[in-house]
Amino acid sequence: MLSAERLHKRYGAHTALHGLDLTVRPGEVYALLGPNGAGKTTTINCFLGFVRPDGGRALVDGRDPALDPQGARQALAYIPEQVNLYGWFSGRENLAYFAELGGHRYRKAELGGFLTEAGLEADAHDRPVSGYSKGMRQKVGIAIALAKDARALLLDEPTSGLDPRASHEFSELLRRLSARKVSILMATHDIFRALDVANRIGIMVGGRLIEEMDAGGLSAAGLEARYLNATLAAAPAEAAP
């Protein structure tokens, strides 16, 4: 569903991506771990078509967003670290608006059904979003993905700033989406949440995918050790001109 093929991206003298190869299969949750500046957000932006690669390509269900941005985005939903919604609209009104932008019109009860499925309490559906917590805003983002019938979901630091309960609820939402065969690529610093929800984990440093592993059977201490070893081993190469 998501595939990066020898993806290169430079910003002036800085190379953000060095020939990245990455695949996310249908229904798979892939956690992309790495420090700041590793290239995680650039990777996501290439899939979204926000950034045009200097070499290689990013494919969404076989479509290149650099060549067919509208076709690629029809298959995608995106939840950034801070979900941008209209504060004076309710959760239901935001959902209706963004669904209609994607070409979908739903009745009030159907909109409520998406919000409920995303875990938003019914008494919040018609309250202004300006009073929502970050976790509640993310649930509206998930509801938008459900209403859009997105086949792939891109997440950038989704659990940053969430309390443990909200983080757990978010992981449960991702598992439900995975069960519906939605492909999920999650860029994160959160080792423990990645281990909790991901099927596969990649460690990215200096624009390179240093290591990939199956999450099954890994312990938190084991993943942390592999992350630290990978980032420390790559540090001299990253610092080189």
Pick the closest to residue 127 from 99, 89, 83 (CA basis).
Answer: 89
Q: What is the pLDDT of residues 1-50, one digit of tens each?
A: 999 999 999 999 999 999 999 999 999 999 999 998 899 999 999 999 99
Distance, in Å, from the CA atom of 231 to the CA atom of 39, rounded to the nearest integer, reads 13
Residue 63 Cα distances to 16, 67, 79, angstroms: 22, 8, 20
In a 3-state reduction of DSSP, which class is residue 140? helix
pLDDT at 234: 67
Handedness of CA 115, 29, 192, 233 (dihedral sign): negative
Distance, in Å, from the CA atom of 236 to the CA atom of 163, rounded to the nearest integer, reads 35
Is this structure's pTM higher than 0.85? yes
| Residue located via tokens 């650099």 | 66
Domain shared by 182 and 204, yes or no:
yes
Q: What is the pLDDT of residues 205-240, one digit of tens each?
A: 999 999 999 998 889 899 999 999 988 876 554 444
Domain shared by 213 and 224, yes or no:
yes
In a 3-state reduction of DSSP, which class is residue 8? strand
Domain shared by 56 and 158, yes or no:
yes
Stretch (H or E) spanning 79: strand 76-79
Strands 200-205 and 29-33 turn out to be parallel
Q: Give the helix, strand, coil percentages of the chain, each rounded to 5.
A: 40, 25, 30
Give a yes or no: residue 80 inside a domain.
Answer: no
Give the mean model confidence (pLDDT) for residues 160-186. Answer: 90
Domain shared by 14 and 129, yes or no:
no
Residue at a domain's end among 99, 130, 149: 149
Give a yes or no: residue 53 inside a domain.
Answer: yes
Distance, in Å, from the CA atom of 228 to the CA atom of 96, rounded to the nearest integer, reads 44
Owning domain of residue 136? 85-149
Domain shared by 39 and 140, yes or no:
no
pLDDT at 147: 94
Domain shared by 124 and 54, yes or no:
no
Confidence check: pLDDT of 132 > 70: yes
Q: What is the pLDDT of residues 47-104, one digit of tens each?
A: 999 999 999 999 999 999 989 988 898 899 999 888 999 999 999 999 999 999 888 9
Domain shared by 54 and 140, yes or no:
no
CATH number, position 163: 3.40.50.300
Domain shared by 145 and 156, yes or no:
no
pLDDT at 197: 93
